[in-house]
Structure 1
Amino acid sequence: MKKTFPRVKTDEEIEALLEDDLSEYLHPGNFQPVTFEFKPKDKSVNIRMSEEMLEAVKKVSQKEGIPYQRYIRQAIERSLSVE
């Protein structure tokens, strides 16, 4: 049976999980693309947006588990990579 990987909050929880057989967790549904940011972020940009839009961005970024400013930067990067 395929299992979804549980969210762990402490080192003890992850240690207990790693003692088990993890082969049931290894299926395509448990993987997602990961990107790494290597270039330094040496410029700052200020933008104005409605409070409702900012709250929506924060809500979506929280669901994705990333800070909202990184979410905005990734959205810009995705839009620039589409040709």
Structure 2
Amino acid sequence: MSAKAKPMPSLRSDEAAERFVEEADLTAYDLSGFKPMRFEVEPKLASLNMRLPQPLLDALKRKAKARGIPYARYVRMLLENDLAK
């Protein structure tokens, strides 16, 4: 990070991120910690229905909420990350 670059603020929602990008001068921030992001552009034509123990589902929902995403998207992200290895 250069001496004048600001650290990125924590953005917990899409709305907060959109506001930040619209209002901030991104050249003033340190973007070196950013990682490539895969956007969901492929249509979802198949579905998966599974039964889980309630504590496991509750834990998934808590983790997804902490990341600011719906729990089904979090489960899909976990599956995609595991299969990409």
TM range (shorter): 0.5 to 0.7
The normalised TM-score by structure 2 is: 0.67
Computed over aligned residues only, the root mean square deviation of the Cα atoms, in angstroms, reads: 2.8
How far off is 1:51 after superposition?
Answer: 0.9
- Normalization by structure 1: what TM-score? 0.68
Equivalenced residue count is 78
> Which fold has the larger relative contact order, with Cα–Cα distance below 8 Å and residues 6 or more apart in sequence?
2
Alpha-carbon distance change, 58 to 33 in structure 1, aligned in 2, over 3 angstroms:
farther
Name the counterpart of 1:74: 77
Gap runs ≥5 in structure 1: none
Distance of 1:15 and 1:38 partners within structure 2: 21
Asked whether the 8 Å contact 1:5–1:25 carries over to 2, the reply is no
> What does residue 56 of structure 2 align with?
53
Same amino acid, percent of matched pairs: 34
